[in-house]
Every structure is written in C-alpha cells, then in structure tokens.
Structure 1
Amino acid sequence: MYEGIKQATGPNMKKTAPLKTKCGTTISDPQKQMERWVEHYLELYSTENTVSEEAINSIPALSVLEELDTEPTVAELEKAIDALACGKAPGNDAIPPEVIKQGKPALLPHLQELLCLCWKEGSVPQDMRDAKIVTLFKNKGDRSVCDNYRCISLLSIVGKVFTRVVLSRLQVLADRVYPETQCGFRAGRSTIDMVFSVRQLQEKCREQNQPLYLAFVDLTKAFDLVSRSGLFRLLERIGCPPKLLNIIRSFHDNMRSTVSFEGNTSESFPVLSGVKQGCVLAPTLFGIFFSLLLSYAFRSSDDGVYIHTRHDGKLFNLARLRAKTKTIRVLLRELLFADDAALASHSEQGLQRLLDCFSSTCHEFSLTISIKKTVVMAQNAPSPPLITVNGSRLVVVEKFTYLGSTVTHNLSLDTEINTRIGRAASVMSKLKLRVWENKNLSVQTKLRVYEACVLGTLLYGSETWTTYAAQEAKLNAFHMRCLRRILGITWMDRVTNSEVLRRSRSRSMYAILSERRLRWLGHVRRMDRDRIPKDLLYGQLECGTRKKGRPHLRYKDACKRDFRAAYIDIESWESIALSRTLWRSTVKTGVKRADEDRDRLRKEKREKQKTQTVQHTCTTTFICEGCSRDCHSRIGLHSHRRTCSFFLSLPVAFFMKVFEREWYGVKQVCLEDFPSEDEYRAYIIYTVLISYVIPLTTSVVCHCLILRYLATMAANTSVAQQHVMARKKKVTRMVATVVILFAVCWAPNHVLNLWFAFEREGLNEVPHVVMWLKITALCLSYANSSVNPFVYGIMGENFKKAFAKSFKSAESSGTGSAMSPKTPKFTKEEEIGMVKMGARRTTDKKKTPIDNSSELDQNGVMNGRESRM
C-alpha cells in the first residue's frame, strides 16, 4: 500500500537545487557540483579522529565473551538473508537483494563457505568495504548548503548479509553498556518512549511546583565523525572477542567511497572516520560509542532530577509513595534516542554543569556540539536562563520539536495539535486528485489509505497526550471533515456525524484517542521495572509540594476518565493489562461501548433540541421608506438607508446644480437639472429597477424555489420532518403576503413616475388630476410600512398574545397598590422560556401545568420566527 501511495503522490522534489561553495558562490554546473560534493566529503572524512587515552582507560574493562567468536552457522546466515528488504539500491557490485533472496537455496552453501573463510582470516573482500555515497536532504535549512544533506552509503548486498550476522552478536555487547535512557535502535523501544518521558517529567515538575531546565543537544555530523580507532579500542574494553573485532574492523579499514550525483559517479577517495550510514552495524556501533561517552562524561556528576517510584502498588494511590523503605530512588539526567540527547536538571547551575561535562567529553571523543541547533527550555523558571557552551550562549525557546513531537514550556498541547492537523491536512491535499477524487477506487480503499496516511500523521504521539475536551473536539472536527470529503457528503446534505461514522464504518476521534491512550498505558504497565517511562508514570519527584486549588489535568486523570467511560474497573486494570491480548480486547470492547453511549447521548440531545419550545418575544421591525425592506435593528436600518440612498442618489448627483430662488428672500437651492428628457427618463427607469423591479423579482424567484423545494420534500419526509415542514410553510405564506403587499402598494407610485416621464406634455394639461394621483400613490406606498404589523397580528399568534399582555400589565400596574398580594402566575409560554434560560420559578404549593407541548412548539417557535420577519 505504501509503495502505491508513494507512486500516487510522486516525488517531493523533482530537481536538485544549485550548490554553494565554501565561499558562498552559487554553482549550477553539474560537473562543478560533483566536484563540490567530492570536496565536501574529502574534508569530512579525511581526518582520522581519536579518543583520549584517559577516556579509554577510564572505561571499566569487562570480561571477554568468547562464545561470540564461534563460526557463524547456516541458521544465522539464513535468518540474515530473510531479513533483507527488497527494493533497495545495491552497491558497486550491482547485485540487488532479490537475487539473494530468490536464490537462497542455491547460494546458501556458497555464502556460508565464504563467510567462514572471512571469519577465519579476519578480513572481508574490498567490495564489501567500499561504498557509493548518495545525498539526502534533511528537509531543514538551505538546500544549497552541503551540510544540510545526509550522506547514505550504498553497500554490497552480500556484505549486508554478513553484517547482519555480525549484528546479532554485536547487540549482545551493546546491551552491556547501553543506559536505560537510550531508546534508539533497540528492540521494543521507540521514539514514543522518550516523548512520553519528557511529557511526564514536565507534568511531574508542574504538579509538584518545581522548576525544570531542559537542554536539547545536537551533535554536528555525529555518525560521520566517530573515531574508528577509538571505537575499536572501546569494543575491546567491553569484552569484544578478537575474531569478531577483526571482522568489524575489516569492514571499515582501507574503505573507499565514490559520490553518485545526477547519474554520474566520481573518482574514489579514502574514508578515514565515521560509521557508514546505510550499514546495519552503524546504529549499534554509534550507540556503543555514545553510551560510553556519556558514562565517562557524567561519571562524577550528581545533577539531574531525582524520582521516587514504586511498582508494587496502585497507579492512582499516591499514598503508597510515602513508604520510604519500599520506594526506589531514580536519577534522571539524560533522555536519549540515538544521537538526540535531552539533558534535564532542576536548576540553571545544574544544567550548566551537565553541559560543561558533556561538552568537554565530546571534545575528548572528537565530537562537536552544534551551537546553532542546541537550545534550552525552562519551565516554571523565575527568569530566562543563561546557559553557555564553549563560551557561546544557547538560545532559550518556548517550544521545541523533540523526536517529531512539539513540547512547550507550559505543557500546552494546542501547538502540537495545530501542527498535527496542518501536516495531516497537507497529506489530504497531496492525495486529493489521485485518491479521494479517483472514481476507480472503492470507498473502502480510500478509507484504508486515510487510516494509514492521514490518521497516522495526525495521531503521532497521541498516546502521550493529556487532552482536554476542546482539543479532542478540534481533532474530531478535522476527522469528520476528512470523512465527509472521502464520502462526498457536503453540509447541504444535512447528514449527521453519527451517520457519517456509520457509513464509513469508522470511530469518532474521542474513541480513537481513548483507545490509543489506554493501550499505551497497558504497554507501560508491562514494561520492566527499571524502564524510565514506567518509573515516571508510577513515581513522583523527590522534592516539591503541590499547589492549593484545582490542579491541572494529569495523564493519570485522563486515563481514569477513559476507564470510567469504557466501564473498566480502576482497581483491577493492572492485572488485566499484564496480558497483552486480554488488555487489547478489554480496551476495544470498553471503548466501543463508550462510543455507543456518546452517540446515544448525542442523539438524545438532538431530539430534545428538536422538541423543545422556545419563548420568542415580539421584536420591533424597522422598515426602509425607500424600498420597504424590514430591518431587525435600528443600526441595521441606518446602515441600509445609507446604502439605499447611495444607489438611488448616485445617478441624479451628476445633474445637481445650485439655483437662486425667491422664498422669503433670495435663497440658494440645489435642484436636479437634466440636460435632456432622455437623461431624466433614464434616471426614472434606474430608480424603478433598483427600488422596485429587482427586489420584487428576487423575492418572487426565491419564494418559487422555496415552494418547489417544499413540494418535492413533502412526499419523502417522516412525521417529525412534516411537523417542521408545516412551520416552514406558515413562514413562507406570511413572507409571501408581505411581498404581495409591497408589490401592490408601490406599483402605482412607480407607474405614475414612468407615465409622467414619458407623457409629460399630456399630463400637464390636467395638473389637478396629476396632483391627486401623486398624493394617492404616495399615501398608498407609505402605507405599506404600517400594513406589515397588521399582517403579523393576523397571521401570528405570539403578536396577539404580546399585544394583549401589554394591556393586562398596564392594568395591573395601575391597580397594584390596592390589590392584596397574590401568588404570581405565568403563562405557558413564559414557563417554557424560563425553563430554557434555567430560571424556572415555582409557586408555594402549586405550579401551572404545561400541556399540549407539541401545539406550543408549533405556535411558539413558528410565531417567534414570524415576529422577526
């Protein structure tokens, strides 16, 4: 599937960017670019780095594991061949891995003979040592800078088979020196372990009101600058037998490489340092080298974060940590994943001492800390810390992307969730044409691609999240948008989220997050006792007190919330989680049940909203005198008047002139003066169109479409929908009546204006008749504004009740002082309105019952809408 998705999306970059020389000059010629790459790698690999004698001698010498020197067996070789991945690029011998895998029965004896011969001689052929280097952009920084590329070594496939046999023995040595904090390239561990540890460490410090200083350290070209001579001597110190050491050494001694760029290959050059990125031995060799570096750096340091933990009690019982004799004291100083290191301390001075030790040790091991990429984050600190490395001050940040997940100084997940949604949306956009809009793919295939690519990107690291309801709702909204897009459902279809989930056979984001969190919790429960994630989850800081007041939501609180929703017993979950299969089935069943309950409550709420009666008071309408438009507020009327006056007065404004007229003296007046009859007639036609014809036509067309929609939907509706349809028809009838009155009342005025514009000479002969016609037409048009309230009163029940109520209240206010106090009574509509606002009032011993709720709903809601028309 992933191979097909890569073909569908296509390559990210089709053309290589121009390179820059060391002086900063841009190079676009392919031949010069090749020379620049060779120059870069010669400069990188030409130095033979060393490790100080003091550092090597300080490493405790372990016993030699002689059993690792036995000749490789056929079973080991066969297992190594089966582990080869197909589709990988071969080395200089051009033998693809498919040849070795398919020809295993015939090639296995010959490969076994060759491997045993190399094992006895302690050397491998030159083809297995040499490499072809290809460059891979890191997706960070300037593409024209060579340092922003990672070099990958393409090696001989036969040599990879041999190195896999060596790797199985080398890992035995690695387990002797790996610290518990190292999770890189180790079975059963992943980046999530360290992301979870960082988040839990931040959470514990916030909970117990302790400062936390974190330094995220980045090494410059860590794999490429490993001292080979120092590495081999360190392998001797940890008990590597001689034959195994000679084989490992032979894969690196006298190694030569070529650069492959734009289809061309450079001349070979020697490689004197580093481990080969692309070789299966490289991660483990670097892990051993880096682990011994850290043990030497912090051999006498006691800085860090101390934790008290206990694994034999209940997770949610903090009282178990008060037993001092049963708790374990753990020092947490570094969190590692390969060469990514995070150093932690409670004080600024402690973090500075840790960085000083680490920096000086890196210098002894010929490694360099990148000042630009190393940053510091402070949590609950009184002031920004001043941390330096080799005299250079490190940048203090409020957020940092650690192993692909964003951590912040205040533990807010908003930045991480926004980043995850943005990346998932980018994946959705890439697959738009090839997958989502591809009619040749079934919906199930699209949903599988969605779960593999989009959800995988969206929910990376979600096992470690302590989410609030608003954050889960935001993720669920994106999830539903994606499903609707895949299914081709728009908002106009009026399909609920429950129906979308049913059609797609998917689960809500609430269920997905809960399941991932609970499954991870069971995984941590099954971890060994000395694992860092388990120590942090079950423990607390050695010092610090909790603040008063409501605490922040913790990871344990989110898990407890999930337990209750999934009907999982909080007291017995730890025993169930010891069985991976049983725990997964329990979580799956419980989360499904919780999702069903959530869906049921959502449906009940929706039905309650449909049947609820809301009290709407009669609102005052404001009517424009120019076009008789109803406005809901006075501000809206003023805004509409300005717009209406602008469009009506714009044409005539060009023809306005100033005249002197005799009116109780000589006055200057502004009157329109049209040059000809044609301009005057054009103005009259424009006025009629803008203020009468266009509004009337628009209203008629819209009402015809509404009536057509109601007619088509009436036959295919349920009883509840027919109830809503009846209310919509009533509104439509009232609005149609208002439109008809507008047409009838304003028609004479506009007809008279058109008649006067085109037949002025004939009408001038009967001036008195014209005057009375104008008066009648204007009175009829202006009367349209006063007719609308009567329409509301005739066709709306709420208007009548509000009108009658105003007189009753006036009578009661006038005679209230003479009347004895009585128990207040409320109408049915008032009681319903008070229930809606949460202010239902009751009398001493009796309450006015509410009957005929369906009738009130039909009248109350409907007439409330009528009053706003």
Structure 2
Amino acid sequence: MPPILISEVRTAVKSLKADKAPGPDGIKNEALKFGGYELWKIITKLFNECLEIEDIPTQWKQSSAIIIPKKGDREDLKNYRPIALLPTIYKLFTKVLVNRMNRQLDEQQPREQAGFRSGFSTIDHLQVINQILERTRECKIPLCMAFVDYEKAFDSIEINAVINALVRQNIPKKYIRTLLNINTGCSASFRLFNNNIAIQINRGVRQGDTISPKLFTAALEDVFRTLSWENRGIMVDGELLTHLRFADDIILFAYDVKTVAEMLKELNEASTRVGLKINRAKTQAMKNDQCASENIKLDDDTNLFVNKYTYLGQTITQDHKIEDEIRRRRSAAWFSFKNIEEILKKTKSTTLRAHLFNSTILPVLNYGCEVWTMRESDKQKLQTTQRAIERRVLGIKLVQKIPNNIIRQRTKFKDAYIDALQRKFRWAGHVARREANRWTSRTTFWWPYNFQRPRGRPANRWRKLMQDNLGRNWHQLPRNRTTYKERIAEVLSSLLSSL
C-alpha cells in the first residue's frame, strides 16, 4: 500500500468548505487551510501512522451530537434528527481515504445508482422517470411503480454488511481493516441538562463522515446483487429497467401490480438481513389506468397506492401532469422569498438585489425544470409568481398599473421562464452527449415499438421545445458545444424579445 503523500493531504484540505462548525477537537477548516506546507507535512505523517496500524486515535471515534427538529409535532421524538460533529482532523483523514478509493467504489456501482457519484444528479433520475411516464401514457403501456424509503438507513446498516460488501467488491484489505476499526467503538455525546451523556454507537455508518455515503451505497449494492430480477422490470430500448436508486431512495418498475409486489417483498427480505428496515409510512406505490386494480401490501399492512408521490424533490403523478409540481415550486419560492424579504427590501443596490433573487429564489422556483414539459398556462404561472415577488420587493401595488417591463427594468431580475428554458436546453445538450448505455439517454431516445400509439393528437412531449427551435435532429447539435451554445443564445434572445 503506497504511503499517503503531502499532495493528497493538500488536495483534501483545499476541498474543505469554510464556515463549518468544528467537532470536539475545536479545529476549524480555515486553520488547516492557512496552516500551509509545514502543517500538512505533520498531518501526512500522522495519517501514514494511522494507515500503518490500521486504526485511529480514540479521540477521533468520539463525536458531539445536537438535536435538530424536523417538520411535524415537536412532542414526537421521531420528528427530531441528530447532527453529529466529528473531529476535523478525522474527517480530513477519511477524505484522503475516499479520494483514493473513489474510482474503485464507483466502478462497482451500476448505472441505476445516481447518489453520491460524480457525473450524476437527481435530474438524471427525474429525466428517466418523466420519460417513462411520457411514453407509457402516449402508448397506453401498463406501468406500476413502488417508491421505497428506509427508516434511518445510514444509522441502521450493519457494519459487518458494509465490510462484507467491500470484500466482495475487491477493495484493498488494508483499507477494509482500517474502515472496520474506524467504525468500531464509536460514541456520541449529547448535552442534556448541562450534563454530557455519552452513547455507544454499535451500528450504522458515522453521520457527517465523508466516506459514509460511499460505504452505504456499497452495502446497498451488495443487497441488490442478491436479488434475482433478471426477468423483472420494463423493457426500455431492448433492456430491462427494474429499478432506480439515489442513495437510499429507490423506485421499482414493472408492467403489473403483482410483479411489483413480489419485488417489494424480496427487497424487504434482503434489506432486513443487513439491518435495513423499510419505512411503511413513506413506502408507496403508483400505477396508471392500464394496470389491473389490485392492491399492494407490505407485511399485511395498509394499501400502498397513491395518486402522486414526491420523489427527489419533485411531485410525480400517475397521469404525468406537472400542475401539482408547479404549484409546489411556486409555494416553495414564496417561502424562500419570505426568508430574505426584509433583506431584499432594505437593499438599495439593484445589482445585489438581483443577485439575491437569482441565487436564492429562482433556483427554488425552477428546481427540476430541466425535465418539465411546460404548457402556456405553466409559463404564465411562473411569470405571475415572479412579477408578484418583484412588486412586493419594490412596494408596488396592482392598482398602480405599472407595466411589467418597467418593473423588470427596475429589479433587473432574471426572467424565470427564460431561465427554465435555458436550463432545459443546457440539460438537453448533456443528455445528447451522455454515454449511450446511461438510462438518461436510453429513455430519452426510446420508442416502444412493441406498443402502438392510439390515434389522435399526441400529448405534449419533452423534446418538443428542442424540435421546434433547433430542428428534428436537435440531438446532433450538442456534439459541437460552441455551435450549440450559439444556437441556444439566439433562440433565447428571440424568445426574450417576444415576452
């Protein structure tokens, strides 16, 4: 095993974020950044000693925990979540380890897993789901989906399951033994009534640890490898798509309810063996009108079927309409505005005020717009929300009848609709350049030839925006990035002038 180099420590230090709360050691990230070469040299020597003995100092196994309330009744203990503050030097050590192991761990992950991976995001899975819903609706294909949620997944996974997964995925044994010792004998201290209470942690990966997400996804991949789903799922471009994963958020696909029920049962049994427990309250299913009217139950529990489900921050509906999602985005934008309303009103600088809106409210309003199939009414709803916020910022009332273009000249805010189009064009370019075997690309350019589309006008499609403005062969343009950017700029300029 090659020794840790100073350059590795320097790279890890440079990636640390500023203004983060320190752990029990009281060391801030800024101190490590400003320490320079001499400090990094000492840290490198310490890390190599830890790697040599395959263990860490006892102090690094201790963490401080604070309790943060979530949504819901504050009298219910389940509505609180602990936040662990780990020693800063320890997190730097695991950052170095994960940088070394990252490529090998990612190579063991399938394309179905998009969580905690470079080159993947939530938009990847949202694109896949929306394209599947679009095709199945247009061609009247039966579709049943189950959205799986685990209870405290990262805190429940058995350490032995993690270690066994790393062994089967051919991770170097020295790293495995080090990780086993790192996650053995850990404790968290809570401050209660001015007293520190230490609690031993016997299961789960360490919260707040850089390497924990990678360890969890490795163990979850080991769970899925035990499932025999070769003949399950839905056929997409000649391949069966059985499920998607974003860390512990899982969605199952099948043509009928019975198959999804069997897959859910098998996944539940396999997950239980490694300490994971499916959350019955948040695990739900959805089917379209082409599926038979059957129920899905988990351990004789209540029926799991719903008409809509929020997956990765976006509302998914069985009829593939985005009205509910637009409504959620508008509500979230107003909530975001309320948090900074006073700052926006007091800020005299037009540039700073526009920057605040564009960087805090606009991303909330347009989250997931890359996969939307918008109609004219959806466009108007976005613009109405933005104009209402602009009037509130400037203190202008509707009865004053000041034109919208005058208000926009005063605020200098970026137009929400144009921003949504720009992001969609940019995302379409990414999809067109994606590897051919990624589900993002396969579902986008897939047509189910084994099903026949009914007669009549088809519903609006995701690709229509690109076809109308860039031509039917739009997917070939992104190969030349410069030309594609110029074409997008021309289209957006034309659309902006027509508003």
Same fold per TM (> 0.5)? Answer: yes
| 1:341 and 2:250 are equivalent in the alignment | yes
Give the letter aligned to residue 516 of structure 1: R
**2:15 alignment partner in structure 1:** 83
CA contact (8 A) 2:83 2:207 kept: yes
- For residues 558 and 292 of structure 1, what CA distance do their matches in structure 2 show? 41
Give the letter aligned to residue 333 of structure 1: T
Give the letter aligned to residue 454 of structure 1: I
Correspondence for 2:181 among 250, 260, 267 = 250
Deviations 1:528-554 (A, max 9, x none): 112111110011236321111111111
Deviations 1:645-691 (A, max 9, x none): xxxxxxxxxxxxxxxxxxxxxxxxxxxxxxxxxxxxxxxxxxxxxxx
Partner SS, residue 466 of structure 1: coil
- For residues 208 and 491 of structure 1, what CA distance do their matches in structure 2 show? 45
**1:152 alignment partner in structure 2:** 83
- For residues 366 and 453 of structure 2, what CA distance do their matches in structure 1 show? 31
Give the letter aligned to residue 197 of structure 2: E
**1:303 alignment partner in structure 2:** 232
Please report how far the alpha carbon of residue 444 of structure 1 lies from its aligned counterpart in structure 2 after TM superposition: 2.0
| 1:451 and 2:358 are equivalent in the alignment | yes
| 1:357 and 2:266 are equivalent in the alignment | yes
**2:147 alignment partner in structure 1:** 216
CA contact (8 A) 2:223 2:271 kept: yes
**1:35 alignment partner in structure 2:** none
Distance 1:156-1:330 versus aligned 2 partners, 3 A rule: same
Give the letter aligned to residue 33 of structure 2: K
- Give 1 or 2: higher helix fraction: 1
Please report how far the alpha carbon of residue 223 of structure 1 lies from its aligned counterpart in structure 2 after TM superposition: 0.6
**2:440 alignment partner in structure 1:** 533
Correspondence for 2:50 among 118, 124, 136 = 118
Pairing of 1:587-606 with structure 2 (within 5 A): 587-596=488-497, 598-599=498-499
- For residues 79 and 101 of structure 2, what CA distance do their matches in structure 1 show? 31
Please report how far the alpha carbon of residue 346 of structure 1 lies from its aligned counterpart in structure 2 after TM superposition: 1.0
Correspondence for 2:304 among 395, 401, 425 = 395
- For residues 99 and 513 of structure 1, what CA distance do their matches in structure 2 show? 40
Deviations 1:824-850 (A, max 9, x none): xxxxxxxxxxxxxxxxxxxxxxxxxxx
- For residues 355 and 208 of structure 2, what CA distance do their matches in structure 1 show? 31
- For residues 384 and 63 of structure 2, what CA distance do their matches in structure 1 show? 49
Structure 1 unaligned regions, length at least 5 = 1-68, 309-328, 600-869
Correspondence for 2:69 among 133, 137, 149 = 137
- For residues 499 and 85 of structure 1, what CA distance do their matches in structure 2 show? 40
**2:280 alignment partner in structure 1:** 371
Please report how far the alpha carbon of residue 193 of structure 1 lies from its aligned counterpart in structure 2 after TM superposition: 1.2
Partner SS, residue 245 of structure 2: strand
Correspondence for 1:514 among 407, 414, 421 = 421
- For residues 447 and 133 of structure 1, what CA distance do their matches in structure 2 show? 38
Distance 1:383-1:155 versus aligned 2 partners, 3 A rule: same
CA contact (8 A) 1:443 1:487 kept: no
Correspondence for 2:36 among 86, 100, 104 = 104
| 1:550 and 2:457 are equivalent in the alignment | yes
Count of paired positions? 499
**2:208 alignment partner in structure 1:** 278
Correspondence for 1:524 among 431, 434, 447 = 431
Correspondence for 1:178 among 109, 123, 139 = 109
| 1:234 and 2:165 are equivalent in the alignment | yes
CA contact (8 A) 2:124 2:440 kept: yes
CA contact (8 A) 2:425 2:488 kept: yes
Partner SS, residue 224 of structure 1: helix
**2:477 alignment partner in structure 1:** 576
Deviations 1:489-533 (A, max 9, x none): 433443322333344444544422222211110111111112111
- For residues 577 and 434 of structure 1, what CA distance do their matches in structure 2 show? 40
TM (norm. structure 2) is 0.95
- For residues 491 and 267 of structure 1, what CA distance do their matches in structure 2 show? 57
CA contact (8 A) 1:375 1:397 kept: yes
Higher Rg:
1
| Residue range with higher mean Cα deviation, 156-165 or 234-243 | 234-243
Correspondence for 1:586 among 456, 476, 487 = 487
Distance 1:473-1:300 versus aligned 2 partners, 3 A rule: closer
- For residues 478 and 350 of structure 2, what CA distance do their matches in structure 1 show? 35
CA contact (8 A) 1:134 1:261 kept: no
- For residues 166 and 32 of structure 2, what CA distance do their matches in structure 1 show? 31
- For residues 261 and 200 of structure 1, what CA distance do their matches in structure 2 show? 50
CA contact (8 A) 1:519 1:583 kept: no
TM (norm. structure 1) is 0.55
Give the letter aligned to residue 578 of structure 1: R
Greater RCO (CA < 8 Å, at least 6 residues apart):
2
- For residues 507 and 93 of structure 1, what CA distance do their matches in structure 2 show? 44
Please report how far the alpha carbon of residue 469 of structure 1 lies from its aligned counterpart in structure 2 after TM superposition: 0.7
Deviations 1:230-253 (A, max 9, x none): 211221121111221122122111
- For residues 166 and 369 of structure 2, what CA distance do their matches in structure 1 show? 39
- For residues 480 and 196 of structure 2, what CA distance do their matches in structure 1 show? 56
Give the letter aligned to residue 469 of structure 1: E
- For residues 322 and 195 of structure 2, what CA distance do their matches in structure 1 show? 47
Deviations 1:91-121 (A, max 9, x none): 2222222211111323111111111111111
CA contact (8 A) 1:378 1:385 kept: no
Distance 1:179-1:138 versus aligned 2 partners, 3 A rule: farther
Correspondence for 1:464 among 371, 377, 381 = 371
- For residues 447 and 476 of structure 2, what CA distance do their matches in structure 1 show? 22
CA contact (8 A) 2:106 2:117 kept: no
CA contact (8 A) 2:54 2:177 kept: yes
- For residues 486 and 69 of structure 2, what CA distance do their matches in structure 1 show? 42
CA contact (8 A) 2:354 2:414 kept: no
CA contact (8 A) 1:467 1:558 kept: no
**1:559 alignment partner in structure 2:** 466
Please report how far the alpha carbon of residue 174 of structure 1 lies from its aligned counterpart in structure 2 after TM superposition: 1.6
Please report how far the alpha carbon of residue 588 of structure 1 lies from its aligned counterpart in structure 2 after TM superposition: 2.4
Pairing of 1:472-491 with structure 2 (within 5 A): 472-491=379-398
Please report how far the alpha carbon of residue 570 of structure 1 lies from its aligned counterpart in structure 2 after TM superposition: 4.0
**2:403 alignment partner in structure 1:** 496
CA contact (8 A) 1:371 1:394 kept: no
Distance 1:434-1:505 versus aligned 2 partners, 3 A rule: closer
Pairing of 1:671-686 with structure 2 (within 5 A): none
Partner SS, residue 405 of structure 2: helix
Deviations 1:1-21 (A, max 9, x none): xxxxxxxxxxxxxxxxxxxxx
- For residues 315 and 153 of structure 2, what CA distance do their matches in structure 1 show? 23
**2:197 alignment partner in structure 1:** 267
Partner SS, residue 225 of structure 2: helix
User: CA-atom RMSD, angstroms?
Assistant: 1.9
| Residue range with higher mean Cα deviation, 266-275 or 580-589 | 580-589
- For residues 229 and 326 of structure 2, what CA distance do their matches in structure 1 show? 40
